[in-house]
Structure 1
Amino acid sequence: MTDATTYQTPTEAEFSDYIALLKPRVMSLVVFTAFVGLIVAPVHLHPLIAFCSVLFIAIGGGASGALNMWYDADIDAVMNRTKSRPIPAGKIAAHEALALGLALSGIAVMMLGLSANWFAAAFLAFTIFFYAVVYTMWLKRSTPQNIVIGGAAGAFPPMIGWACATGGISLESLLMFALIFFWTPPHFWALALFMKEDYHKAGVPMLTVTHGRRTTRRHIFAYTLVLAPFAIWLGLTSVGGPIYLSVAVVLNALFIWRGWQVMRRTDEQSHADGHKAEKSFFRLSLIYLFAHFAALLVQHWVGA
């Protein structure tokens, strides 16, 4: 990590800068999947407890984002996609981001324990640690498998939501975890295919940098094949049903087909049309995850 003094002297930050520090787009995924995990669980929570649980999970997710931006400020300053983030842009000092991340982490864990249960709170604490330390400080800069192993941090929220309601873990919550866990690598590798130079400049050993685009394409397709059985298996559990299964079958068939198209591409073809297929696959991956969890919600409400 680069020392904070290498950045511009921070100007007076606006409220929006602190919001950006919490990675709101990532937080929205955390909130939505945690909410679904909590709602579809077989235990009904009082609406106030459910609201507080999701709120504190969201705060924990934001704390993870702040800690990530604190440590990765040197990388963010190099990459075009991230150089306008609050710390490299000189809007927030690195030590302020660290203090905010630690404070929010403590608040989120303690309040989740008091409002829901201490198992869920411990799970949230582990998730923050995994993202900030295991992924950000260790895996991201040391192995091309960074996004594979580190992706577990983003897959924990529905399990935490489920734990808020039930106080434990089940097959259903594990399959929700697997859905996000195996979705994460092809999602980020598709982005890396048309953002390779950013990762190369920053020295991040993304698979596209260490093994090349051809290998990355093969890995993307392989993960679509691994992902599909878990997505469909979830539909055969107590939280599934015909609505979810219909969505899962159609989306996974499409995801595999698009993954196959990406795998067959050459670098020459990609450069010629501006990475059209890769960008299309990346956009589909966003729809893919949202639609699966939305289908779980609809299935639950229809069933109820």
Structure 2
Amino acid sequence: MADTSTYQAPNEAEFGDFVALLKPRVMSLVVFTAFVGLIVAPVGLHPLVAFCSVLFIAIGGGASGALNMWYDADVDAVMKRTQGRPIPSGRVAAGDALAIGLALSGMAVMMLGLSANWFAAGFLAFTIFFYAVIYTMWLKRSTPQNIVIGGAAGAFPPMIGWACATGGIAIESLLMFALIFFWTPPHFWALALFMKEDYHKAGVPMLTVTHGRTVTRRHIFAYTLVLAPFAVWLGLTSIGGPIYMSVAVVLNALFIARGWQVMQRTDEQSYRDGHKAEKSFFKLSLYYLFAHFAALLAQHWVTP
């Protein structure tokens, strides 16, 4: 278990520091994909129920972030990218972060069960457990496959949104899961290509650290090939259509082409131009996921 006892806040924290604990940028992705999963489901929900469902999924996602920050405070203190987070910077005490994470987790699960259904609530509870325990406490520090397996936690929200509306699982929700699940490794490995030293210093066995950048580049390209069929398959289901399919075909062709470009690079080329291609691929990966789910939403709204 991580030693978080040394991270005590010398000053009183501000409200913004507690918001930062919930990883609002990550939460925004959780909210959006869960919202899309709920909206495109074949069963409509009362607007108030839908709003409450998305709200409590978001709170559950924020709770996961707080638990992650509590456990990873020692790692965050070492990595340049995360040193300014509330706990390692000393603005929030580790114990407070743990208490907030546990309290919000319990509240989110209970309230989702009461507002939507208990299947969705159980799914949310499992997702919080998976991210906080399976990924954060176990996989992240023990295997270079941490992102591959742990990525499931970030892929569950649209399935939870779908479950809020339908009370179950369907091929459409599974394919939305697959879209995020297979997108996650190339997205994070692209980041790791130009942040390798941070992970090395922190002792996190990211693929770039354990197998090097050349192997990581090959894995990125391989995952773009695996990802594309699932993205297109989703367009052939009841929630797909010409709008979504057009976006999926264009974006996946571009994603594969950029992945191929990254794979052909050498470390010397990357250092020489400041990781230009790797950063470009990472930026594209951010738009990639948003565009697919936005296309699902647009397809739903224009379909009679």
Same fold (TM over 0.5): yes
C-alpha contact 1:232 1:248 (8 A) present in aligned 2: yes
Q: Distance in 2 between matches of 1:258 and 1:96?
A: 43
Give the match for residue 212 of structure 1. 212
Give the match for residue 174 of structure 1. 174
Give the match for residue 247 of structure 2. 247
C-alpha contact 2:38 2:162 (8 A) present in aligned 1: yes
Structure 1 residue 2, shift from structure 2 partner: 4.6
Give the match for residue 39 of structure 2. 39
Residue aligned with 1:84, SS: coil
**TM-score of the aligned structures, taking structure 1 as reference length:** 0.99
Give the match for residue 268 of structure 2. 268
Is 1:17 the counterpart of 2:5 in the alignment?
A: no
C-alpha contact 1:37 1:162 (8 A) present in aligned 2: yes
- Percentage identity across paired residues of the two chains: 87
> 5+ unaligned residues in a row in structure 2: which ranges?
none
Q: Residue type matched to 2:216 in 1?
A: T
Q: Distance in 1 between matches of 2:303 and 2:4?
A: 53
Is 1:189 the counterpart of 2:181 in the alignment?
A: no
Give the match for residue 51 of structure 2. 51
Q: Distance in 1 between matches of 2:300 and 2:107?
A: 31
Q: Residue type matched to 1:84 in 2?
A: G
Give the match for residue 101 of structure 2. 101
Is 1:27 the counterpart of 2:27 in the alignment?
A: yes
Give the match for residue 290 of structure 1. 290
Give the match for residue 224 of structure 1. 224
Q: Distance in 2 between matches of 1:6 and 1:295?
A: 46
Give the match for residue 127 of structure 2. 127
Give the match for residue 60 of structure 2. 60
Residue aligned with 2:238, SS: coil
Q: Residue type matched to 1:197 in 2?
A: E
Structure 1 residue 283, shift from structure 2 partner: 0.2
Q: Distance in 2 between matches of 1:133 and 1:220?
A: 26
Structure 1 residue 8, shift from structure 2 partner: 5.2
Residue aligned with 1:6, SS: coil
Q: Distance in 2 between matches of 1:190 and 1:146?
A: 15
**Aligned residue pair count:** 304
Deviation readout 1:4-49 (Å, 9 max, x if unpaired)? 4423543100000000000000000000000000000000000000
C-alpha contact 2:8 2:92 (8 A) present in aligned 1: no
C-alpha contact 1:13 1:92 (8 A) present in aligned 2: yes
Q: Distance in 2 between matches of 1:7 and 1:54?
A: 32
> 5+ unaligned residues in a row in structure 1: which ranges?
none
Deviation readout 1:155-206 (Å, 9 max, x if unpaired)? 0000000000000000000000000000000000000000000000000000
Aligned CA distance change for structure 1 residues 83 and 302 (closer, same or farther; 3 Å): same
Q: Distance in 1 between matches of 2:289 and 2:127?
A: 20
Q: Residue type matched to 1:60 in 2?
A: G
C-alpha contact 1:4 1:93 (8 A) present in aligned 2: no
Q: Distance in 1 between matches of 2:14 and 2:279?
A: 33
